[in-house]
Structure 1
Amino acid sequence: MLTEHLTDDDYYHALVERDAALDGLAFVCVTSTGIFCRFTCPARKPKRENCRFHTTIAECMEAGFRPCKRCRPLLRPGEGDPVIAPLLEALEADPARRFRQSDIAAMGFDPSTVRRAFKRRFGMSFLEMARQRRMGAAVQRLAGGGPVIEAQIDAGFESGSGFRSAVTQLFGAPPRHWKDMPLLKASFLDTPIGPMVAICCDHALHLLEFADRPALPAEIRALRRDNKTGIVTGRTAVTDRIEAELTGYFAGKPAAFTVPLSRHGTPFERQVWQALRAIPPGETRAYLMLATALDRPTAFRAVARANGANRLAIVIPCHRVIGSDGGLTGYGGGLWRKRWLLEHERRMTAGIPASTAEACP
C-alpha cells in the first residue's frame, strides 16, 4: 500500500502541503478539536502535536473523532453511491438520533445492502457508525462549557445518566458463556480536572483514563479482547484503593501509587512504563533521554509509541514526558491537563498547598 512505509512526520508534511495523493488513503485526527479530516481540508492546519493519523475512517471514529463539516471525509468515498450518500446526510443532520434497521427500511433501502455497502467503504456498518457519532456527541456535550471539563459527569445532558449510559454501552453485555466467569468492573471517579474511568478486577487495575479521552472506546474494546471477558459497571477493593490514592495525589500528598497493576503490553512497552514510573514527581524527561536510559538511543520513536499506548493515566506518569526542546508534546487527556498535572506536581514537591494548585489553567 502507498501508506505502508510512511511515518507520522511524512503524514504531517503531506497535510501541510494538502497532498491530494493521500486523499481517502489516510486521515488526520485533531486532538484539540475532536474531529478528523482529509489531507486536502481547507481549514487551518493544526499543530503537529495535536495530530493523530489513521488509514481508515473506522479507526478515526473508533478513536472517538467526528468527521469535519468542511471537508466531509465521509461523503467523499461515497460519491456516486445511491445507498451511502443519503444515509450519511441523514446522520449528519441528526448525529444524536438512535437509528434502527426500521429507519433504514423506511428510507427505502434494504438493510442488508446498506450494511454491505458501509462495511465495504468504511469498515463499519451504518448502525455502528451512528453509535460512534452518538458517543462523540456525548463527549462533546460534556466538554461544551470550555476547556476545563466539569467534574460532574451528568452536566449538560438531556437526562442525568446520559453520559454514563453512553460510556456504559462501550463495556457491553457479556456473552452468556461468561456468566460464571470473573468480570472486570468499571467505575467513574471524580477528580479536580474531570471524571475518570477506572476498570479493575479483584486483584489489579487494568485501565484508568479520563472519560473524554478520544481513544477510550478503542481502549475498552482492546481490554475486553485481551482479557477475553466482559466489563460491567461496579467496584472492587482495587477501585476503592485507586480512588483513595488519587484523592491523596490531588490533595498534594507525594506518596507513590502502590495499587497493583495488570500485566499488559509488550515486553518493550512494559520496560518503558517502568522507566516512566521511575521519573520523580516534579521532574520531566524527553523521549530521547528515556530511550538512552534503556540502552536504545535510536528507539525514541518506539518509546513515544509505548508512551501513547499507556492505559493507566497518572499512575504511569506519561504526562512527565516532554519534547527535547522543553515544549509540551501530545497527551491523550489533553495538553491543558498535562500542563495542570506538571504544575500540580511542581507545587507538590515545593510544599505549596494543593488548594492553590487547583487554580491552574
Structure 2
Amino acid sequence: MTSSQLELASPPTDAISSLSYSPQTPTLLLASSWDKNVYLYSTHQQPGGCPKKAVEHKAPVLGVCFGKDDAEAFSVGLDGGVMRRVRVDLESGYLYELSRHSAGAKSIVYHPETSTVISASWDSTLHIHDPRSFNSPTTIPLPHKPFTLSLSSTKLVVGMASRALHIYALPSITSLHSQSGQTVNLEPWQRRESSLKFMTRTVACMPNDDGYATSSIEGRVAVEWFDPSPASQARKYAFKCHRQPSAENSNVDVVYPVNALAFHPVHGTFASGGGDGLVALWDAVAKRRIRQYQRYPQSIAALAFSCDGKYLAVASCPGFEDGKEDLVAEGETKLFIRELADGEGKGKGAK
C-alpha cells in the first residue's frame, strides 16, 4: 500500500491550536481553534471527512484532549484573561466548568487509568482534577510559566519558561485526588534543565515510557531518557532541523520554530512539524531522519497520530514566524489526514 493524504473539507475558521485523536477510534479527531470552537471530525466517514460537532466556547480554545470515551473531551483556553477548563460533552455540546486558573492556559492531558485531568496555566500552576467528582481541583505551584505537558504511562513532563523541565511520577499526582481544594507543594520526581538553548516549544513522551523529546523555537529537537543513570543520560542528544537556506544568501539558514512533536504509538518513531511548513519522521534510537513530506501550505501548528498509528493529522495555518499577527484569513487554515503506508512509520532498524 502507498501512502495517501486527504484534506478535511470543513476546517476551523481560525488557527488550530491542538489536535487529539480518540484513544479508542482511529478515525475520530478533535481540533481546538482560536475561533473559540472545539471540532469533532469523523475523518473517513465521507469524502473530505465529516464534521460531527462544533462545540462553541466563550474564548479561543488552546488545548483539547479526549476523556474516558469518544463522547467526552476536556479543553483549556482563554476567557477574558481567565483560563477555563471544561468538560465537553461531545454528544450534547454541553460545557461544564471544572476549575479556573487566574491566567490563560494552553495544555491539558487526561490519564485514563486513573481518570485524572491535568491542566497547566500561565499563572504557574497545575490543576489536578478527578472529573468523576464535583470537588475542587488540587493545585501544584510551579517555579515558572508552563508551556507544554505530555504524559507517558507513569510520568508527567512539564515544559516551562527558563528552559526548566519537571518530571512527575504519576502515582504522586493521582494520589492528590484526596486533597481536592488544597495547594500542595509537590516535589517532582526529577528537575531538569532543557538540553536546548532557547525556549521550549513542545514536549512529547515516548509510548514505551522510556523518555521524551522536546523542541524549541530555534529549530532544534532534543531526545532524553527518564532513567537518571549516567549510562542512560549519556545517550541523550539534540539535533538541528526545520532550517531552510535564505533566499538572499544560500550560505545562511533561516531557522524556524519546531511547533509540534508526536510519537508513533506502535513503532516509537516521532514526527516533527515546523514553521517552515514541513513534517519529518525521525528514528529516535538510530538518530536518523526517516523521511520528509512535501511542504504544506503554511506553518505546521499541530500533529497527532491515531491510536493505531495508521493516520497522521497535520494542522497547517499561518504562524508568527511569517510576520502574520492579524486574524487568519478564511481558507488559510487547513487540516490534512495522512494515511501511512505499511512500514512508513518504522525506524531504520525495525523489522
Normalising by structure 2, report the TM-score. Answer: 0.30
> Does 1 or 2 have the higher relative contact order (CA < 8 Å, sep 6+)?
2
